[in-house]
Amino acid sequence: MNTKDIIIVFDCGATNVRTVAIDVNGKILASESRPNNTKPDPEMEGGLIWDVFEIWSKLSETCRIVLSRVDKERIAGVSVTTFGVDGTFLDESGKLVYPVISWQCRRSNAIMENIDKYFPVEELYEESGVYPHAFNTINKLIWIKENRPDVLDKATNFLFIPSLFVFMLTGERVNDVTMMGTSMLTDQRNRKWSERIFEKIGVPVSLFDPVAESGDMAGKVNAKGSEDTGIPMGVPVFLGGHDTQFAIFGSGAELHQPVLSSGTWEILMVRSRQFTSSVSQLKAGLTNELDSQKGIFNIGQNWLSSGVLEWFSRNFYPGLKGDKLYETMIADAKKVLPGSNGIKVDPSFYKDNMHTDGGSITGITLNTTRGEIYRAMLESLSFKLKEVMITLEEAGGFTTDKIIVVGGGSKNQFWNQLRADICGKPVQTIDQKETTVLGAALFAMAGAGLFEIPEEARSNINYNPQLIEPSDDMKKYQ
């Protein structure tokens, strides 16, 4: 076997950033993380941004620690994966012209509410396939055009956030297809930018080029990238991209096998060779993103999940953290019968123009316990999963035989049992808990020539799947 058998993955999430070293067998050799959070926008009161230089400093720090635990001579390549939609413009010298606006910033809500002045939302959805969330790239681009036209005057190109870190490693400027597919700026069926959409909003499409596929080599670690991270100069850097696409591929899912990626947001997605983006799919809340492989689409729907539970734990379990927090919450919930004693939760806690006016908790009495509320929240999120599963089945013309659950939320076995009981389907978990990192690494392995194609790299992984069958409580939820 090639002695170069390690991939370094930079993984930037909304709550944590980390560096991971993973080998060709999917084994994590070293990992180090730091907390992540948004910052106030210094150029707009009330705005929220990602401080990419602070994030890069954390990634560099964690990378040096990881490299101290592995043999650097074994590094075959580097990849980067992050959340979707966010990015910013650079000028000719490589300086950021404006901070990276966070998907959590509400400045673009009004843009989405009035998008019809540029493009009827139904036509925009039909063309791009992406559900019209306020945080989509298109809305932040229009906000900049309307409020900071000087940014566009100075800009030479736009880079999504994973490509910003690739730029810091290599000096190369190139976007990847999976991030492009989250933007609502694409001709999704033809896997390219939509010149029609760019013409309507009055921004040159050339600012967003070039674009390449996941696993393509973006460049090699340069002197500055090596100085920052400790990665040797000349190590190839391969395009990663949107974390959801890699979580799906890294889970081992084949076509028409639903995958629930459970984190701050949950997204249930199915890999398919076709998608529909008519008014009926828009009303159903479906989104269509570009898979990490050509010719495949990811049909799905997302909703705020662990973000709701984090709000709950902060307010109802103050002072508890880590394993002690979750052990206490789960123990409290297990004392409660199915149905949470009549407490109902609407978990739509994220509010924008395409959502409800916010979540709600009903049925509370003077005797209500926090365990009842926690169980009600888990049940409500599981019912949401069932609702979306049925919608995907109708849109894709398939029947679910099992739901593969990955991400942080897959670690909660009590929640997994509720999912199985409420959906009436087996839930499959896998030993590979870090499917996003694994998925990005598999494409880098193929790019580095360790395997012919990403599927061959994936066949080398022992997933050791575990099925959680519906229990007798299933009947109580039907």
Cβ pair 101, 161 in contact under 8 A: no
What pLDDT does residue 265 have?
A: 82
Q: Fold match between 6-245 and 253-429?
A: yes
The conformation of residue 96, written as its DSSP 8-state character, comes to B
Topology of the domain covering 253-429: Nucleotidyltransferase; domain 5 (3.30.420)
What pLDDT does residue 460 have?
A: 93
- Chain segment 146-155, per-residue pLDDT in tens: 999 999 999 9
Distance CA(462)–CA(439), nearest Å, equals: 14
Q: Where are the beta strands (DSSP E) in 341-383?
A: 344-346, 360-362
- Chain segment 402-422, per-residue pLDDT in tens: 999 988 888 899 999 999 999
What is the token pair recorded at 327? 């052990």
Q: Confidence band (pLDDT; 50, 70, 90) for 384?
A: very high
Burial of 141 (0-12, 13-18, 19+ CB in 10 A): buried
The 3-state DSSP class for residue 240 equals strand
What is the token pair recorded at 55? 């994030």
> Rounded mean pLDDT of 449-473?
95
> Rounded mean pLDDT of 207-220?
98
Distance CA(88)–CA(76), nearest Å, equals: 29
Domain boundaries, the chain: 6-245, 253-429
pLDDT averaged over every residue in the chain: 94
Burial of 365 (0-12, 13-18, 19+ CB in 10 A): exposed
Cβ pair 448, 238 in contact under 8 A: yes
**Is pLDDT at 308 greater than 70 in this prediction?**
yes
User: How many Cα atoms within 13 Å fall on the side-chain side of residue 363?
Assistant: 15
CATH code for the domain defined by 6-245: 3.30.420.40
What is the token pair recorded at 155? 């800009």
What pLDDT does residue 5 have?
A: 96
Percent of residues, the chain, with pLDDT higher than 90 = 84
Angle, helices 435-447 vs 243-250, to 10°: value is 90
Handedness of CA 51, 52, 57, 61 (dihedral sign): positive
Distance CA(121)–CA(353), nearest Å, equals: 12
Pairwise pLDDT comparison (108 vs 264), residue with the higher score: 108
What pLDDT does residue 351 have?
A: 54
Q: Which residues contact 254 (CB under 8 A, 6 or more apart)?
A: 271
Is there a cis peptide before residue 426, judged by omega within 30 degrees of 0? Answer: no
List the one residue out of 200, 166, 164 whose CA is nearest residue 185: 200
